[in-house]
Amino acid sequence: MGGGVINTVSENMIEAVNAPYLDAPYSGSEWDASVLHEAPSSTVKVSRVAESVFNIEGKVIDIKEFTDYQHPGMSLAATVLTKATQFWIKEGTANKDYSQIDLSKLRPGWSTWGRLLWSDWANVGATAQDME
């Protein structure tokens, strides 16, 4: 079924990741438009993003398509089940045994990620009760 790479995106990479989808020519390379660099993968054919702190190579196990009932035969979306075959962690971004990535170096960001400390979580219940 194929395979691919999941590349994490840190705050400093957001503009470069989105660049190929703005006005890049159809025949051009996404790599050239993004100014990101290719790194070889070991278990899949596609390259991974060298600047990513954490990459996951994987083989596709199954694809579940969700059909559009108003337009039979059309797919609205799909979920891809992937078996991880290789993990990459950028040197200097994890602890000594590579069991934990330093979030201050991963710097996940933008509108899809929130950083909450334990003190934030401790107040969630009280905040929810106040809203009732």
Given a cut of 60, whether residue 72 has pLDDT beyond it is yes
pLDDT, tens digit (0-9, with 9 covering 90-100), for 42-58: 999 999 999 999 999 99
Which domains can be identified in the chain, with CATH numbers? 3-131 (2.30.110.10)
Decide: pTM greater than 0.85.
no
Nearest to 63 by CA among 46, 74, 77: 77
What letter would DSSP give residue 50?
Answer: T
Structure tokens at 31: 């790599």
